[in-house]
Amino acid sequence: MTGAAQASRRARRLLRWYPRAWRARYGEEFTELLLADFAERPRCWSRAADVARGGLLARLATAGLAGYQADPAEAERAALAALACSLAVFLTVGAAMWAQLTIGWQWAPPGSRATTVAMTVMSAAMLAFAALALAAFLPLAWCALRDGRQRLAPLLSRPAAVAAGSALVLVVGGRHFGNGWPGTGGHWWPHQGLVPGGVAAFAWACTSWVSSYWAHPAALMAFPATEVGWMVVSPAAALCLATGIAGVVRRVRCPARVRRWQAWLGVAAAACMTVFLSAAACWVTGGGAGPRGLFHTGVIDGVGLAVLTGALAAGCRALQQVHRAGLAGRETG
Amino acid sequence: MTRSPGPGSGGMLGALGRSAGPAALILASLADGAKHGYALTKDIESFAGVRLAPGTLYEALSRLEAQGLIEALPSEDRRRPYRLTATGAAALRSHLEAQRQVADVGLRRLAGNWGTA
């Protein structure tokens, strides 16, 4: 292989750090600059690190978590989609934690006051999340239907179908496995507990894959094959649901007032995330050892707290970008 | 500690955050005419003694372009030149005047307390 061909290959490899849209716009000229730089400084580790950093920043910008997009409306949509993804991660891990406590309460009330308070606050936050999701979904669905009838139908149909299909899988699978779960039975109003049994069982079944059983394959294999299969299928369905919703948010052309409404809901969601996280931290750190039942905290709950914190941080970063893009949009009219 | 808007913190370049340094160098380089990426690197190296690495250069170029401070010209032999826009020229002027104000104050105070070198 000649030196020129090798250099060209090195440049192409470095270019892969950048997202596709960036490569389409700047790829050719950036490759030329890299080739000139290779000729002057054949061995330079800092150049590779610099290109990697630039590529990751460009990917964050494309994902709506860093802002230098030319079109403020596009930047706002990207940031709202990033916020939706952060919320999806938060809700998945949060629901897994909450469902564990909820089902525990149906067996026996918590012995620790910290757990009781945490459970009550987390349940209130979950109710608020549901209300916010409905308030965000209705105008988005209206805009999607309006756009779907117009020119954007081909762009919207795929993410909308992915979101609807995966939601259906989660609902059907969640109901099926929730009803069969020992201890819950899907009773709608149990004699004791804070949350209707059917809701608790459904939340647990949808998030049963957030489990430390993955670290204990022998114990996992003792489960019926269908349940293990569901623990593999359900995260894929949750991922598809989040991706589909983010795709719709990113593509729907909402009027500015609807985007402002979504941004306001995002702020409210971040506040709920903070409240939920505080309550979860209260349970994990102050709930005491408790009985070795579902109120007992383990390593996975510590990991869950870390994931919730990361998702909240990413959501706040996305909200900053939403705010910045909104301001830029109003300045440019 | 409170943060007040100083002479060098505001303006369109201030909004570029960590890219403000490379952005100012790029705008200063483009002030005397359009240049492509490699020519910008060499020019900045000659007048500022700083070599902008390719990733840093293009991060700043894409931000400046998104802000409308520079614009791309048609590609020449796979290299695309960039030129300053009127907004970019105004932003650079404002940034440099703020820098000059800081430099003037610093030099005056140095001369008053430490004498001339």
CB-based contacts of A86: which residues, under 8 Å, 6+ apart? A311, A312, A314, A315, A318
3-state secondary structure labels for all residues of chain A: CCHHHHHHHHHHHHHCCCCHHHHHHHHHHHHHHHHHHHHHCCCCHHHHHHHHHHHHHHHHHHCCCCCCCCCHHHHHHHHHHHHHHHHHHHHHHHHHHHHHHHHHHHHCCCCCHHHHHHHHHHHHHHHHHHHHHHHHHHHHHHHHHHHHHCCCHHHHHHHHHHHHHHHHHHHHHHHHHHHCCCCCCCCCCCCCCCCCHHHHHHHHHHCCCCCHHHHCHHHHHCCCHHHHHHHHHHHHHHHHHHHHHHHHHHHCCCCHHHHHHHHHHHHHHHHHHHHHHHHHHHHHHHCCCCCCCCCCCCHHHHHHHHHHHHHHHHHHHHHHHHHHHHHHHHHHC
Phi, psi of A209 (to 5 degrees): -75, -15
The whole-number pLDDT of residue A180 equals 60
Lowest mean pLDDT among A61-70, B1-10, B52-61, B79-88: B1-10
Each residue of A296-316: pLDDT tens digit? 777 788 889 999 999 999 999
Q: Is A321 on the interface with B (CB under 8 A)?
A: no
Asked if A271 and A313 sit in the same domain, the reply is yes
State the pTM of this model.
0.70
Residue A284: which of A122, A126, A127 has the closest Cα?
Answer: A122
Domain boundary among A44, A62, A80: A62
Cβ within 8 Å, pair A29-B65: no
pLDDT digits (tens, 9 = 90+) for A135-149: 988 888 888 777 766
**Chain B residue closest in CA terms to A46:** B53
Q: Which of A304, A287, A305, A308 is nearest to A296 (CA)?
A: A287
Asked if residue B104 belongs to a domain, the reply is yes
Residue A140 shares a structural domain with residue A48: no
d(CA A165, CA A155): 17
In this prediction, residue A287 has a pLDDT band, given cuts at 50, 70 and 90, of low
Rounded average pLDDT over A4-22: 90
Residues A100 and A165 in one domain: yes
Q: Which residues in A169-204 are b (16+ Cβ under 10 Å) and which e?
A: bbeebbbebbeebeebebeeebeebbbbbbbbbbbb
- When pLDDT is cut at 50, 70 and 90, the band that residue A294 belongs to is low
Same domain, residue pair A141 and A285: yes
pLDDT of residue A67: 63
SS3 category, B6: coil
Range of the domain at A7: 3-62
Identify the CATH number of the domain in which residue B71 sits.
Answer: 1.10.10.10
Closest CA to A278 of A313, A305, A251, A258: A305
Alpha-helical segments (H) within chain B: 11-14, 20-30, 37-48, 54-66, 86-114
Shortest Cα–Cα distance, A299 to chain B (Å): 38
Q: Are B62 and A58 in contact (CB under 8 A)?
A: yes
Which site among B59, B75, B77 would you substitute to test the A interface, given the most A Cβ atoms closer than 10 Å to its Cβ? Answer: B59
Of the pLDDT bands very low, low, confident and very high (cuts 50, 70, 90), residue B5 is very low
Residue A58 lies inside a defined structural domain of this protein: yes
Quick check: A69 contacting B, CB < 8 Å? yes
- Count CB pairs under 8 A between chains A and B: 65
**How much is the average pLDDT of A188-200?**
64
Distance (Å) from the C-alpha of residue B113 to the closest C-alpha of chain A?
41
Nearest to A176 by CA among A196, A202, A199, A207: A202
Look at residue B78 and tell me whether its pLDDT is greater than 60: yes
User: Does residue B101 lie within any of the structural domains?
Assistant: yes
State phi, psi for A297 to the nearest 5 degrees.
-90, 150
Same structural domain, A275 and A308: yes
Provide the 10 A C-beta neighbour count for residue B93. Answer: 13
- Report the domain count for chain A: 2
Q: Each residue of A319-329: pLDDT tens digit?
A: 888 888 777 66
Establish if A50 touches chain B: CB-CB under 8 angstroms: yes
Whether A173 and A321 map to the same domain: the answer is yes
Please indicate, yes or no, whether residues A270 and A173 belong to a single structural domain of this protein: yes
How close does chain B come to A181, measured CA to CA in Å? 52
Q: Are residues A260 and A292 in the same domain?
A: yes
| Lowest-pLDDT range of A64-68, A91-95, A308-312, B4-8 | B4-8
Tell me what percent of the residues of chain A surpass a pLDDT of 70.
86
Residue-level pLDDT at B8:
39
> Considering the domain boundaries, does residue A67 fall inside one?
no
**Domain count of chain B?**
1
- CA–CA distances in Å: residue A13 to residues A23, A34, A48, A309: 12, 11, 10, 34
Average pLDDT, chain A: 83
Burial group, residue B14, by CB count within 10 angstroms (0-12, 13-18, 19+): middle
Q: Which residue of B has its CA nearest to A58?
A: B59
Contact A51 B79 (CB under 8 A): no
Is B56 a domain residue? yes
Q: What is the mean pLDDT of residues A201-218?
A: 85
Range of the domain at B25: 13-112
Whether B66 and chain A come into contact, CB under 8 Å, resolves to: yes
ipTM tops 0.85: no
**Which of the residue ranges A181-190, A228-237, A320-329 has the most confident prediction, judged by mean pLDDT?**
A228-237
Q: Are A289 and A50 in contact (CB under 8 A)?
A: no
Query: Are residues A147 and A35 located together in one domain of the fold?
Result: no
pLDDT class of A181 with cuts at 50, 70, 90: low
Q: Which among B53, B75, B78 is the nearest to A46, CB-wise?
A: B53
Contact B54 A33 (CB under 8 A): yes
Whether residue B57 is predicted with pLDDT greater than 90 in this model: the reply is yes
Q: What is the pLDDT of residues B81-101, one digit of tens each?
A: 999 999 999 999 999 999 999
Contacts of B61 in chain A (CB under 8 A): 26
Q: pLDDT tier at A201 (50, 70, 90 boundaries)?
A: confident
A33·B67 Cβ contact <8 A: no
Whether residues A35 and A87 fall in one domain: no
Provide the shortest C-alpha distance from residue A32 to chain B (in Å): 7
Query: According to the model, what pLDDT value does residue B3 have?
Result: 36
